[in-house]
Every structure is written in C-alpha cells, then in structure tokens.
Amino acid sequence: MRSVFSSVFSCCLLLAQGGAAALVGQPLSQGRAGRRSAVGMVTAAPELKDKQQSFDTSIAEVPKCPETVWNSENIDLAAVQSPSRVLPVEITAADVPEGMSQEEFFRARRPELLEQLTAGGAIWLRGFDLMKTKEGFASFYEQLELEPCQDPLASVGARAVVDKKSAMYEAVNKPSRAKFFVGMHAESTYKRTNRLGAFVCFKQAETGGEFLLLDGHKMLKDLDPAVLRRLYDKGVRFSNAELPFFDFLRTLPEPLQPLKEPLKGVFKAVAQVAVGAKIDMELELRWDENEEDGLRLLAFSPTQPPVNRHPVTGEPAWFCNVHSHSRYLRDGRDGKLVESSGASKLNVTNMFYGDLSEVSADDLKHIDEVTMKNLVYVPMEKGDVVLVDNYQVMHGRDVFTGERLHAVTWFQ
C-alpha cells in the first residue's frame, strides 16, 4: 500500500506539468507544412546551459506571475468589431539610426514600442545582433523597463529554467515534441496570467518550428455567433491533467471488490491534499472511468469564460485555450498519443462546458477552422524576438526537424 501512496504523491508533484505551453497538439499534414520553405542556418547558436528542470521551477528572486484579471461580464458579442491590424508589427535592425547602439535604440523607443505592442498585439523584432545571446536578450528587455515574472506554471515545472537571473525559460524545444503541433493558447491558468511575453530565437530549426500567432480579436469576430454564444453562456472548464495509475482498482480480486469505492475515496483525498499544497492552480480532482482510458483522476480548473476584456484597453478578445487543450482536436491533428511514461502520461487535457457536458465535435471543428484561418507563421531567425500581448494574442509552435533553441521571459 505504501508504494501506491508514494506513486500518488509523485504524480501530484507532476500534475499539470506541461500546462498551457507544453500542451502539444499534433503534427501538421505534410501538404501544409511543405508549402513553406525553411529558413537556413547561418550562425551557431548559444547552448541553453544551466537549465534547471524539476517539479518546481519557481525563482525566489522573481515575483510570481500576477493573478488573472477576469473582466468578462455582460460582453455584447454582437458588437465586436474586427480589427484592421495585421500581426505582427515588424521592426528591423535597419530602423536603428546610424551611430546609435541597439540598446540605445530600444531605450529611446520604449514608450512608442509599448504603445505599438498594446495597439498591435505583437511585435516582431528582426535582424538584431543584441538578442543573439542570453545576456543581450536580458539587456534588451531591461531597456524597455519590462518587469519579469515567473512562469504561470512554475509550481509544476512546466519548463526548464534557462537563466534564473533573467527569468528565462526554455520554450518547447524537446526532440520528443518536435512532431507535435503546439496548439494556440494564451499563457494562462484560471488563477495566473502574465501580461506580456518575449520569445527569443537562439537557433531556428532545420525545417519548420515557426512561431505562431493568433489574433484574439479576429478570432472573436470570425466565430459563428451561435457557437460563441453557447461557449460564453455556459462557460468552459478544462481538464488540465490526469493521474492514470488507478486502473488496478477495476481488476481487484472478487473478495476485494467491496474495497474499490473506499479506496477511491482515500486516494482522491490524499491526491487532492497533495495537489492543493503543491500546485498553484485551484484544481479539483474527479474520477472518470471508461473502457478506453480505464480508471483515472482528472484535474479540473474552475469554470471560466472563453472571452475576456483586455486589462488596459477594455476590448474583449478570445481567451480560451481550447485549441491546445481539446483532446478531440489533438487526436484529429495527429491520431491518438502513443503510450508514454513519466510526466508525459499526465499531460492529457480536455475541455468541456462549465457544467462538464461535452462540446460537440461540430463546434470544435468550427473553432479549429477559424483558428487555422487566422494563424500567422513567424519564421524567427537567431536574435529575433517576438513580443506578445498575452491578453489579446495567442501563440503556438509548428512541428520541426533538427535542433531548435528558443526561450521566453514573461512579464507582469
């Protein structure tokens, strides 16, 4: 019995690892990926050394990610206007005046750049030498006076820490995830959401691996009004992870079958205490059982709206991680995940209505179609940085081959 409790506790430490960022979808079809040429490598990239990977990647010297600013009541969905903007705003090293250093350029342009970021949703900084190193990347955001914060999922170690001093986390570069499409998502949990993010490329993949953007304003405008209304009225609830280690209870010997329900109660209580003490996500554990998945505990976040107002502009935007979290959409992109081990066994997510009823396949397909129609591919090269306003623009990552080294720092 001790080994079972030990397994439960270990699983709780891993629970939700992967979260919003490591929740990957499936490989794209060869036809769509093949229409884009890969960007050739011309310079070597720095290794992402000093990586800290554990079940907790909190950084004591850095503030926690701020709590999510929810402002979603009484939104007039019919009045939403589609913006005329095109993601992302592009700024290149050629824009730096002669005789001015790149650091001086960012410092002088700080107010203008931050205004452009709020108005445009995302900025792609191209061709700058400054951000080709970890130190230069940190200097870049210091010139903009951005205040780093921890990863929203720091308590569960969703990403390795690349550099504690600069609050830099590794993006989804793992070779084991190269063939999985990272679905579009805001970097957010129900409880915590960073305001801004800066994604940097230290080495682009041999092929693919483009950074992806999705305008939450256009998404909101293009969704079928009936689909949007259903989601908004009912709210959504995410199953963020699962503990799949309890199926032995279904096959207990006949004399022990009366113990199944009492043991379920014990295991759930122990796991819920461990999750509550460890994981900063307000998760509720619920049992689920079927022939395909067996008996397992699912970890649910509270009910939340799929639309949220921007904390600065007050404009509503699509703010729903269904594209990355929906099991139906992931399976449709790549087939069902093969059996895995460790944390990957737990990174199984799904989305439901707020009452935990199923979202129809037709509605999910429609959301996927609108998402893919509005997707923007950003083929970042070494030293490129994409600044993202996390409350109005979602991000993701295409499949890739070869080594890929990207990192990210979140800001309050």
Burial classification of residue 179, based on how many CB atoms lie within 10 Å of its CB (0-12 exposed, 13-18 middle, 19 or more buried):
middle
Query: Higher model confidence: residue 317 or residue 159?
Result: 317
Dihedral through CA 151, CA 154, CA 159, CA 164, nearest 10?
Answer: 70
| Residue 226's pLDDT band (cuts 50, 70, 90) | very high
Return d(Cα 52, Cα 170) in angstroms, integer: 10
- Domain with residue 80: its CATH number is 3.60.130.10
Return d(Cα 41, Cα 382) in angstroms, integer: 8
Query: Higher model confidence: residue 292 or residue 148?
Result: 148
Please give the span between the terminal C-alpha atoms of the chain, in angstroms, as a whole number.
44
Written in H, E and C, the secondary structure of 314-348 is: CCEEECCCHHHHCHHHHHHHHCCCCCCCHHHHCCC
The tens digit of pLDDT for each residue in 165-201 reads: 888 998 888 888 888 899 999 999 999 999 999 999 9
Written in H, E and C, the secondary structure of 55-82 is: CCCCCCCCCCCCECCCCCCCCCHHHCCC
Percent of the chain with pLDDT over 70: 82
Token couple for 88: 């992302």
- Residue 206 counted as domain residue: yes
The tens digit of pLDDT for each residue in 272-287 reads: 998 888 888 889 999 9
* DSSP annotation string for 214-238: EEHHHHHHHS-HHHHHHHHHH-EEE
- Residue 256 counted as domain residue: no
The tens digit of pLDDT for each residue in 377-399 reads: 999 999 999 999 999 999 999 99
- Residue 385 counted as domain residue: yes
Return d(Cα 377, Cα 394) in angstroms, integer: 12
Average pLDDT, the chain: 84
Our count of domains for the chain comes to 1
Q: What is the mean pLDDT of residues 248-263?
A: 90
Q: 219: how many CB neighbours lie within 10 A of its CB?
A: 26
**Residue 222 belongs to domain spanning:** 2-242+273-411
Q: What is the mean pLDDT of residues 319-336?
A: 90
The tens digit of pLDDT for each residue in 49-94 reads: 555 544 556 777 899 999 999 999 999 999 988 778 999 999 999 9
- Residue 179 counted as domain residue: yes
Least confident of 35-39, 167-171, 362-366: 35-39
- Residue 91 counted as domain residue: yes
Query: Higher model confidence: residue 10 or residue 176?
Result: 176
- Residue in this structure with the two tokens 């011309």, named with its chain if needed: 42
Return d(Cα 266, Cα 56) in angstroms, integer: 26
- Residue 282 counted as domain residue: yes
Token couple for 252: 């207990």
- Residue 257 counted as domain residue: no
Residue 180, C-beta contacts closer than 8 angstroms, at least 6 positions apart: 24, 25, 26, 27, 334, 399
CA 346 to chain centre: 16
Looking at residue 160, its pLDDT comes to 81
Percent of the chain with pLDDT over 90: 63
Return d(Cα 98, Cα 387) in angstroms, integer: 24
Long-range contacts of 227-234 (CB under 8 A, 24+ apart): 227/363, 227/366, 227/367, 228/77, 228/306, 228/307, 229/77, 230/353, 230/363, 231/306, 231/320, 231/353, 231/359, 231/363, 232/75, 232/77, 232/305, 232/306, 232/307, 234/353, 234/354, 234/355, 234/357
Looking at residue 48, its pLDDT comes to 59
Looking at residue 23, its pLDDT comes to 31
Looking at residue 354, its pLDDT comes to 97
The tens digit of pLDDT for each residue in 88-122 reads: 999 999 999 999 999 999 999 999 999 999 999 99
Return d(Cα 121, Cα 176) in angstroms, integer: 31
Does position 245 have pLDDT exceeding 90, yes or no?
A: no
Looking at residue 34, its pLDDT comes to 34
pTM for the complete prediction?
0.85
Report the sign of the C-alpha dihedral through residues 13, 16, 19, 23, in that order. Answer: positive
Token couple for 25: 């979808």
Looking at residue 320, its pLDDT comes to 97
- Residue 268 counted as domain residue: no
